[in-house]
Structures are given as structure tokens and as C-alpha cells.
Structure 1
């Protein structure tokens, strides 16, 4: 989407955040949401004006799967972010209303609560603002927030939830914040790798060998794919192309050195979030490993960490075994994240 859209999105959201709209939750009707984090995860910093509550999460859950957010009532957030695919959609480029082709591959929403900058170029600062982008994008929902508000205010279930959760009729303020609340409950940390870290079970020999390779000084995969969520949150050019049609981080900074740089994706559930890269141009994990083994195509801004590795067939299979150990089946089937009737 265009930079001007991001700017409009930010201005629109900020305009709605006036003091007279401060949240006033009724304790008797709403209660804090008990979000259970894996013991090896750090705490989440929630916005002061949008702490998790039961009704906010329920409202967001209903809205996340509500097709009325799109102009022709055909798609929802859940169309491009499907739970079985770790809240991605397995298309190279996601499709909007009327089959319109979008701009990029849909990223996973697993552990999105920990992300500070959203979209591949990092142009949106938080989840509350993010939802406005697909609503207004002509290749996604292509809808008008005024029309959305009027239609949803006529829905007694949603409007009542908004009154309880945000002390106001449902509007773009409560819509964006409720969806953000629900998305922050998408915590994934129950993979075989996590159980190994916690001492609950052991990884296979191949996965252990792959983990050693992953964190080795020679491969240095863990430099960018670091921390509990396997991302440094930074922006890197991995030499995917000699000339990038999508300029990535440059779209925000206008710095020539940022051309072709994209935010490091999380590797959690990577087995289920194919195809890969910002444009879905690589179909399999085996091909991703091959790309890094050959050292990229040598773009002028290519990261110095992307160098020829000349991995053996065995090493590639071991890396693959480690990456697939990051799949959290409980997350993919968590009933608390499915659509509500």
C-alpha cells in the first residue's frame, strides 16, 4: 500500500483518541482477560488505554471474522489470516474483494503482541492503527468506515459488547482497539522446540543438530532470527533480487541503503506459513535454505551476514528438522481463536 495511506491511517486514528473518549470499563460487566504466557516468554506491554478485558477480546474476536468490514461482505481479517496456517493464508500474494490481488504475502499473526513495527517496511507503529490500512486499501477491504459503523451499530450483539468494553456505541475507535486486543491473544509457544527448552521433552537428533547449526557462528541464523519469537524486529536485505520491484524499508525512510530491506519475519510455525518472502516468491522451506546456502544474488544493500555457506545435503535436512520443530499444533487448533457463532 502507498505511503500516503499509512499517513492518512495514522492521522485518522490519532484524531479519534481524544480525552473525551477515554475508556471507562464497568467492573461489574467486564473483567481483565487472563492471558497465559509460556513461562519462558517475556511480559507483554499493553497500551494504557487498551488493556485486555474479556469483552474487548470477545468483540475483537467477532470482528476479526466479520465480513462486513469489507465493501462486498466477502472477506474478513480471517480470510487472509487463517488459523490452520498460523494466521497466514498460503497464497503468494493475498487477495481482497472481487479477487483483487494485494501487495504482499500475508504474515503470520502468531505473537504479534510483541511486534513494535508492522508491515514489511515497518510503517505502522501499533495494532490499533494497523486495521485501518486493509479497510481502506482498494485491493483489500476497500470500504468506508462510516458505512461500517452504521451497519455494525445496528447489530445488537456487537453494539452491546462495545458499550460494555469501551463505554460507547461501536465505532472505528472500538473496532480497531477490539481487534487489536484479540490479536494480542494469539500467543504461540508450545512447539516441540519450546518443550525442549523447558525440559519437558527432547528434540530429535536431526533437530538438535539443526539447532546447533542454526546458532553456529558460521551460519549465524540466530543473529537476525533471535529471541523467543525468532526475530530481531529489524530490517535486512537478504539478496533475494538484484533489482527489487518492492523497495521495502526505503518506502518509509527514502534512504537508498534501505532499498530491498524487509522486517525479519518470525520463524515460529514456519512450516505452515508458506510460501515465503515478502512476495511469496519461494514456495518451500527447502528452497529458502538453498537461497541462504548459495549466499543471495549480491544486491548492493545485501546484508553482510548473507554469504555462501555451501551446506551439505545432511546439513540442509538437519536445518529443516529444526525449523519444523517450531510448529505449535496447539496454537493451530486453539479453540479460543476460532470464529464465534
Structure 2
């Protein structure tokens, strides 16, 4: 069984628990992050410091369908609180009904993410990422492009003017301010109140079951290798915070596909080859960002394309060392993908061990995060 100090060290927060957090920049000292005492604060752009007024404005904008050109969708339309601010559908659908190629990622602790989106190593701030759903044309999401003046005018109301003034003073209404407010609200979506947190960081030895403890030992073992891609206190390598000095932007090919094996080494469907689409490097084909596992049992379906229905199925794929699709247009043995991560090597689990691992993953569920009125509009 893992010693708790060893566990904390593995999770990458031992330094944070021993060091003071006085290194936070002065621009965000007035905002109180809802984090465990001693935890590092997220990194925040200097030109958009956190404030309660920005979070309040961003929350109202997040739920407002006026942000889409045809007034059919809001940000919440693809990011539901009950599903860890993801959605329970395979891939997203834009405001015009256009199906996307990817599953909407959960917004859990996204303030700590080093990179945003499933497979782009250059998008490192929410301010930049939020522009994609707002203005993208292929696929259309909120569909603002070409309708900028009409959409912006909807927020030139007395109620919104008061909120913008509280958040940004006398700065004129603009999409830049809307983006900054939305980024502030999304950064405020912090989840650190799970049974695992109470066990690992708050000293409650009874917070998780004996089965979950056995599952935790499996998770952090070299036999399963889970922690190599889902490490740190946020259970993803893609993490940055005020005390994180390394610029880590990892992406992984998990052997999910091996389509057209005779045509080359990529193996991933041509309409989404992952990071290779951005880097243009063959070695990056099929590589995607590992999401946080916090609240993971609430954000099904899984993978970048929502192609895996349950956590049990996910474990089976990793135990097999990749996914073997035996028929259909994506037929191919992902276990043989030449670009697959060396950590996806396969392992054997007994029925009981699998249940223990699932029990551990369940301890990462933060019920308060999924239900708190702090993340909701009062009038909803």
C-alpha cells in the first residue's frame, strides 16, 4: 500500500504543501481561489487577472444563448455541469446543427491545463481557446463570424452594462472583454473536494474504501502505468501552475486506431490525426492530450471522438494494449500501431482488480462541483 507522503510526492504537490504561495502575482491576490490550503494557484495572464466581478459576468455570458449568431446555443449547450462541464454525447453539435469531429472536453480544473483542446500544443491560454467556438467557421459552433455587430449589440443592455462596468471599469464593450470574462469564469471551475482529496490531502483515512485503496495502488503501479499520462494532483500531465517551472505539453498515441495499416504508420482516421495535424510531423500522428481524470465517471463517452462508451471499456482497451476494431470503416488493430506510446503495453487484471480500479476512479468524483449553485445562474 502506498504511504501517503509517497502518494503526495507522486502527485506532484509535495513542494506546494511545503512552500508558501507568496509567489502569486499581485494582480490576482484579491481573488480567493477555491483550492486546498497550500495548493499552488493556477497561472493567469497578466492582462486578465481574476476578479469576482469578471467571474460573475463570465458566468452570465456562459449561459446566454445570445452569444450564438442564431441564438440557439450558449457555452453551456456543450458543457453541462452535471457531466463535469462536458456533455453525454459522442461528438458536439454546433448552433446550426453541424456535427463536430470531437467530443466536448470537460472543463474540470481547466485553469491548471498547460494546453487546451484535444490536440494543439500552441493553444495555452483560455483567452485564445475561447475564440475557436466563438468564431470558427469549419465547423460552426457559436457562428459569430460575419455577425459580429449583431451579436455584440445584444449585450449593450442596462443589465450587462452594469456587469461590464463592475468587471472592467470604463472600457467599451467588445469581444475582447467578453472573452476575458468567459475565461475568468471557466478558470473558476475548480474541483478539489472529492473523497480522494479528503483522503490524500485532508487526513481523512476513512474517506475512501479498502477497494478504492487497492485500486489506487494499481493506478500508481508500474504494472498498469496509468500515472505516467494521468499524473499530478490534476491527474493529467498537461498541467501548469504558479510553481510549475517546466513547460510540459505531452500528447499520447494510445493505440485507439490503426486504420489502413498498409498505407503507412499513422493508423488514425484521416479526418483527425491529432497533434500531427498541427505539427505536420509524422511522429505526432494519433497523439492527443490526456484529459484530467477528476470527475471522469461523469463525463462519458470517452476519448477525443467519444468512441468509447464506458470506463470499463477504457480499462479493457488499455489492458489489451490498444483497441482492435474487427470490422467497419475503422477496421484495424490499434495494438500494432507503430506510433503507439510505450506506456500502452497491456496488462492483466482480475475481475476484482478491475472493480478496485473503477472504485478508485469513482473517488475522484466531486459531488459539490457537479451540483454547486456557485457555478449556476440564480435564475436557472
TM more than 0.5: yes
Query: Displacement, 1:256?
Result: 0.4
Once residues 39 and 63 of structure 1 are traced to their aligned partners in structure 2, the CA distance between those partners, rounded to angstroms, is 30
Q: Is the 8 A contact 1:215 1:222 kept in 2?
A: yes
Mapped to 2, the partners of 1:239 and 1:172 lie a distance apart of 40
Q: CA deviation at 1:252?
A: 1.3
The residue that corresponds to 1:206 in the other structure is: 211
Residue 240 (structure 1) aligns with: 256
The separation in 1 between residues aligned to 2:142 and 2:378, in whole angstroms, is 21
Give distance in 2, aligned partners of 1:217 and 1:106.
30
CA displacement at 1:70 relative to structure 2: 0.8
Residues 1:332 and 2:356 are matched in the alignment? no
How far apart in 2 are the matches of 1:205 and 1:40? 27
Shift of 1:51: 1.1
Partner secondary structure for residue 99 of structure 1:
coil
Q: Give runs of aligned pairs for residues 139-288 of structure 1, distance below 5 A.
A: 139-144=140-145, 145-153=148-156, 155-166=157-168, 167-197=170-200, 198-200=202-204, 201-233=206-238, 234-242=250-258, 243-245=267-269, 246-288=272-314
The aligned counterpart of 2:344 is 306
Matches of 1:213 and 1:116, distance apart in 2? 26
CA distance in 1, matches of 2:77, 2:342: 37
TM-score, normalization: structure 2? 0.79
Unaligned 5+ runs, structure 2: 1-26, 239-249, 259-266, 323-333
Name the structure with the higher helix share: 1
Alpha-carbon deviation of 1:132? 1.2
Aligned counterpart, 2:119: 121
Q: Per-residue deviation at 1:40?
A: 5.7
| TM score, norm. by length of structure 1 | 0.88
> More displaced, 310-319 or 259-268?
310-319
Structure 1's unaligned 5+ residue stretches are 1-24, 26-30
Kindly indicate whether the alpha-carbon contact (under 8 Å) linking 1:55 and 1:161 is maintained by their aligned counterparts in 2.
yes
**SS of residue paired to 2:155:** helix
Q: 1:206-239 deviations in whole A, cap 9, x for unaligned?
A: 1111000000111111111000100001100000
Q: Is the 8 A contact 2:131 2:179 kept in 1?
A: yes
1:40–1:277 Cα change, 3 Å: farther
Q: Greater shift after overlay, 50-59 or 280-289? A: 50-59
